Amino acid sequence: MDYNMNNLIPFIPPSEYDRVAEQFLEEYCPEALKRPMAVPIENIAADMGLKVQYVCLSEEADIYGATIFTDGALEIYDPEDGLYDTKVFKRKTVLIDPEAVKKTNVGCKHNTLAHECVHWYKHRLYYKMQKFTAPRMARFCKCSVNQLPYATEDENIMEGQAIGIAPRILMPKATFIEAASQYDIVYGKDNWQAIYGLADLFDVSKQSVMIRLEECNLL
Ligand SMILES: [Zn+2]
């Protein structure tokens, strides 16, 4: 794996996303590369040392997840008081906003969790090495439903990697194609039976299955 040595962002072109997802599974759940199954992403996150908390991250519910790379404070939203509040979190904390997750086009908690695992797996060096002027604050990435206007180019690159790799972890190419071959998927038809069946088998959303079928040239 190559890194950009100036900022420690890994260089991962989209053609490598499947390979990175396979490397991740070889390390954390090799069984998922042998047979079609629901990847136990909660257990994998726990094995990686990540602790998940479900909190409200923004008033507009447009930030669905965050991974915290260094101990420190982070602003979260309190829907009861209608106010933002600063709270201290430990590194390796993953925050998920369940309301905002519903607004993403692959809206399921498993995909969000896989997405945050990719950030920890591939992007922790970047955040560790960032020059930081506010030591009390945590270093973290925020994952939004739509691209944030203040996101930097570095952040957009890493966000693109996490968006691309997460569904490939939950539906690894070879076993996904193997499972999909059990159904008669016909181009131009709605194929609901296959989509429901695969969503159930891999425990992901139907939208996620449709995107994956298209990526694998099956739809
Ligand atoms: Zn993200």
Which pLDDT tens digits describe the chain residue by residue (219 residues)? 688 887 789 999 999 999 999 999 999 999 999 999 999 999 999 999 999 999 999 999 989 999 999 999 999 999 999 999 999 999 999 999 988 988 876 668 899 999 999 999 999 999 888 766 677 888 999 998 887 777 888 999 999 999 999 999 999 999 999 999 999 888 777 889 999 999 999 999 999 999 999 999 988
| pLDDT score at 151 | 80
Query: Backbone dihedral region of 75: left (phi > 0), alpha (psi from -120 to 50 degrees) or beta?
Result: beta
Residue 56 lies inside a defined structural domain of this protein: yes
The C-alpha atoms of residue 190 and residue 61 are separated, in whole angstroms, by 31
Residue 177 lies inside a defined structural domain of this protein: no
The C-alpha atoms of residue 67 and residue 118 are separated, in whole angstroms, by 10
| pLDDT score at 103 | 83
| pLDDT score at 1 | 65
Residue 214 lies inside a defined structural domain of this protein: no
Residue 145 CA to ligand 1 center (angstroms) comes to: 10
Residue 135 CA to ligand 1 center (angstroms) comes to: 22
Number of domains forming the structure of the chain: 1
Q: Which domain holds residue 64?
A: 3-172
Residue 24 lies inside a defined structural domain of this protein: yes
Residue 115 CA to ligand 1 center (angstroms) comes to: 6
Residue 146 CA to ligand 1 center (angstroms) comes to: 11
DSSP one-letter code for 99: H
Residue 189 lies inside a defined structural domain of this protein: no
Residue 64 lies inside a defined structural domain of this protein: yes
Residue 157 CA to ligand 1 center (angstroms) comes to: 10
| pLDDT score at 132 | 66
Residue 203 CA to ligand 1 center (angstroms) comes to: 20
| pLDDT score at 187 | 77
| pLDDT score at 111 | 92
Residue 137 lies inside a defined structural domain of this protein: yes
| pLDDT score at 40 | 97
| pLDDT score at 128 | 84
Residue 23 CA to ligand 1 center (angstroms) comes to: 19
Residue 80 lies inside a defined structural domain of this protein: yes
Query: Nearest-CA neighbor of 110 among 39, 193, 206?
Result: 39
Q: Where do runs of H (alpha helix) occur along the chain?
A: 17-28, 41-47, 98-101, 109-129, 153-170, 173-180, 192-202, 206-215
